[in-house]
Copies of this chain bind each other. A is one copy, B any other.
């Protein structure tokens, strides 16, 4: 009755057509909601309309949903209603590299990221101590052949199911996921990799980047698809380097960018700021 208002985040997607904003804002008026943040985008590429709203309302979830129901029906809305700040259930996949895992756990502990991490699952045992340091469960399962890979991936699916995982982060996991797993996690698995201008194929890209004398080193966070390193881009960063940097220093610089970029992508995802528009992302920063 007299409960304090809840801060809701509402995201919605539909075919672009006149009247959507009018109808959605009407539903919010009906739910006695106060819009505190609103962003929208109409995609000329796919003809779809995207909207993200933050709304303060003392309406219960059912009331809010009831007010939205006719709009959902009329415009064929895909929508999601959540409470601002609720921790996102996040499964982290890792390998040997500690920098991105350490950064995610440090940022979660300090409150910068609102994540609930039930497990860090790795294909090597190296990170057990680091992860334990942050009080997060850790397990490792070797991935050495098709059978162990299948077992690992089944375990991922089991954990996703068991904990109601909303986001899977490949924190330098370094293994190619099977097309089946990519499909199962579509739109809720994020990967990070280094990025260069120009791009370099093959092994040891930092050595190649050094050989060409690149002046910028970067990283890209993207959704996982079966096309390796080619999923929809969520965030990218670069930093300046110069001729004095050794390949090892370039790698250290690149790893910092990986941590920073993945952390940003995860933060936006957990705040429902990342919407998919075909091969592109809409980021309501």
B215 lies within 8 A of A236 (CB): yes
Cα of A29 to Cα of B19 in the assembled complex, Å: 6
Q: Is A74 an interface residue, CB under 8 A from the partner?
A: no
Cα of A25 to Cα of B27 in the assembled complex, Å: 13
Given contacts A102-B106, A212-B233, list 19 more A-B pairs with CB under 8 A: A18-B28, A18-B32, A18-B33, A19-B25, A25-B25, A35-B40, A36-B42, A41-B244, A44-B246, A45-B211, A102-B110, A210-B280, A211-B280, A213-B233, A213-B281, A214-B236, A215-B234, A215-B236, A242-B283
Are A21 and B18 also in contact (CB < 8 A) when A41-B243, A197-B195, A197-B236 are?
Answer: no
Other-chain contact of A29, B22, B106, B279, B282 (Cβ < 8 Å): B22
Q: Is A199 an interface residue, CB under 8 A from the partner?
A: yes
Q: Which residue of B lies closest to A16 (CB)?
A: B34
Q: Is A258 an interface residue, CB under 8 A from the partner?
A: no
A197 lies within 8 A of B238 (CB): yes
Can you list 5 A-B pairs with a CB-CB distance of less than 8 A?
A: A21-B21, A102-B110, A215-B235, A216-B218, A243-B277
1/0 contact string of A1-43 vs chain B (CB within 8 Å): 0000000000000000011011001101100111111111110
Are A282 and B110 also in contact (CB < 8 A) when A36-B42, A197-B238, A238-B238 are?
Answer: no
Q: Which residues of B contact A22 (CB under 8 A)?
A: 22, 25-26, 28-29
B218 lies within 8 A of A197 (CB): yes
Cα of A244 to Cα of B37 in the assembled complex, Å: 9
Q: Which residues of B contact A36 (CB under 8 A)?
A: 42
Quote the shortest CB–CB distance from A87 to chain B (angstroms): 18
